[in-house]
Structure 1
Amino acid sequence: MPSSAELHERRSAVVARGVSSMIPSYVSSASGGTMTDVDGREWVDFAAGIAVTNVGNAAPRVVEAVRAQVERFTHTCFMIAPYEQYVAVCEELAALTPGDFEKRSALFNSGAEAVENAVKIARHATGRPAIVVFDHAYHGRTNLTLALTAKVMPYKQGFGPFAGEIYRVSMSYPLRDGRSGPQAAAYAIGQIEKMVGGANVAAVLIEPVQGEGGFVVPAEGFLPAIAAWTKAAGAVFIADEIQTGFCRTGSWFASEHEGLEPDLITTAKGIAGGLPLAAVTGRAEIMDSVHPGGLGGTYGGNPIACAAALASIETMRELDLAAAARRIEAVARPRLEALAAKHPSIAEVRGRGAMLAVEVVIPGEDDAAGPVPDPVTTAAVAKTAHELGLLLLTCGTYGNVIRLLPPLIISDEELDRGLTLLEQAFSTTA
């Protein structure tokens, strides 16, 4: 097997420079909460493929289901010749997503596709143009979803012009805005009414816990107030649960933490154990407002990905991975808070379930936006962690947040080892 150095040399000759990687090592295998590179080095996995392998890599049920499906057929295109697996995934989504009302789903390949189609559906259903999004949001890398995404580098720089009729308002960010949930919601709603006008809003699109924007958990009461205003305005409330969905935050969906029942919900990442699948699920009358043929795609709801999703959902139920996410938080949060007590550079520990983060700042320095972010130390801690054998990711509008996204099936020993390596990385760097 070629070494990582050899593979990197080959990569440099053929892979576009814009496609970057966090570590220079190349993976040969992964299972549980670890992965092994081609040089035989093992890493504790606190990334899970960016919250994708919630059930773990090469999960037995997923492997079995994929193998069986490949032997039957690999593709027909559901729009040409339908199959049961697509229908079964939609049945599961109708049962699992929040809200006791009739639902419909449409399946796609990626989170960006799901978000883009949710916007299409909302505009079609309401006959209105405007889409409201929030500071620090991340919704994808297509032209429309880049317009919805807040951060310029590395996502938006040089790729415009972007789609229009997108309006950005203030997000509840407790560390930085000092507002209660209702106060932050009132401020954001005031911006919408002044800049857009409620009668023009097709949809309000929000991540219940922001992902790439820094694992920002809005203050309690913010999300219900925004959802209530959206309903009163006759607009569609869309919850982007692409990173938060499928047990990641300690519930099947993060919307459940404050009793939200989104009109539409977008899912991807954790749905299919590592295979590409995404969905828009929502109220039947909204989803069915689109004419036949108005939604679809060649690979959307591919039978192999659907088989993997059904096996993943079965695994989540059987192992109660929502409870596993809460157990991870119960172990990790006290360790992170103890780490914050030792290192003044950690301004906050936040998150839900197995979606946890620490925000790194320059101690004692504040500006109009609150504690001054320290992306340099953040990057150094992450680099040191990688060198020690811990795979983790950074995020945040200011590049100063370290996030933890372990597979939900990670063992106690692996979790402990990963947290110890993170502590070591801070001790030697921050």
Structure 2
Amino acid sequence: MFRWVHSGWAMKLREQLRKMWVRVVLYSLAGIGLALTAQFVGPYLPYIPKIDLASGSVGSLLNIIASSMLAVTTFSMSIIVSAYSSATANATPRATRLLEEDRVAQTAVSIFIGSFLFSIVGIIGLSAGMYPDKARVLLFIATLLDIFLITWALLRWVNHLNEFGRMSDIIDRIEEAAMRPTRLYRESPALGAVPGQSVLPDTAPVITADTPGYVRYIDMAELQEASELAGVEVEIRRMPGKYAHRGEVLLRLSAQVEDKFQHAMRDCFTLGTSRNFDQDLQYGMTVLGEVASKALSPGINDPGTAIEVLRAGTRVLQEFHRPLEEEREPDYPRVHAPPLDVPQLYASFFAPIARDGTAVLEVQETLHDCLNVLAREGHLPAARREAGRARERSGKNLTELWEKQMLGID
């Protein structure tokens, strides 16, 4: 039987779990739950005199936690918002999404807010007489554990602040995000489908987009299953990263299918108002290029950052071109999809840097060095084309003869 729950929903769930509010809610509920359950579990605890005496200080400890955690949370959020603003101003607005998914920052803020709510509920419970003697002991032990958790989160957060939101950190995050689709496309050039473009005729039945947006994710496994049950072959016309207008073709079919299969196949496409890194390698390379372009703008004028970006992008492309140990058969034989446009991938990364750094010798030297490496290890025609275009641009903008000679420009 066809499964109507697609892994596209799993992708949406992963996106939600990456957001800060999810962790904040979970830790907050855990803190409230711990404070409320103490009164029920406490009566079953054994009597330990020393702990019982120490539990008299639980009210003071909870007051300290409540007052300090509110200040620490406010301070932490101001740091995070400042990092977002800095990334937008100095790198690219697209990088803020990666900072928003930072697990260390999310965990720290979640623990601080959860501890604050735990202490508030505990103070209210103590004032209302909800905790008998043994329940007070359990609340005391929970408070000690909470203090240990806060200390661990603070130390981790303070150490993390040494790098959080800095330019090198942003470049590393974008590179890491781009590596995920890089490995995916290296192992499965067409996302596991049969590579091919315009396999089915233009007159073939089609499935169109019912809402406009960027293709963020394609559930290839469910598309294969729907195709098998419908007894057809399909050709993907809009790969991840492409924008689909309402009514634009998403799929071509080898034959007409029932409405239920059309709906199932359309649901395999997740569309949104913005692009996503998970299946969109070109987006990762474009965002890296944006960071270099911003660094080379007259207002910032930071060629060193552009050089770091060139090295990072080259590492991504080298990983993409790294040979496979063995060739893999397509995972989804009924699905046809266009392979990644490698020349366009090179252009989306190198062209903006070559344009904005056309008169900066050190940037041009690094750019040609990276393209020479990719000419040997990667896509030779694309690397030569970008190198030729960069030399042509530089020849018109470099004023010194010796600079042109260093770049091999006649």
TM-score, normalised by the number of residues in structure 2: 0.23
* TM-score (norm: length of structure 1): 0.23
Point out the structure with the larger helix share. 2
**Greater radius of gyration (CA):** 2
Larger RCO, structure (CA 8 Å, separation 6 or more): 1
- Greater strand proportion: 1
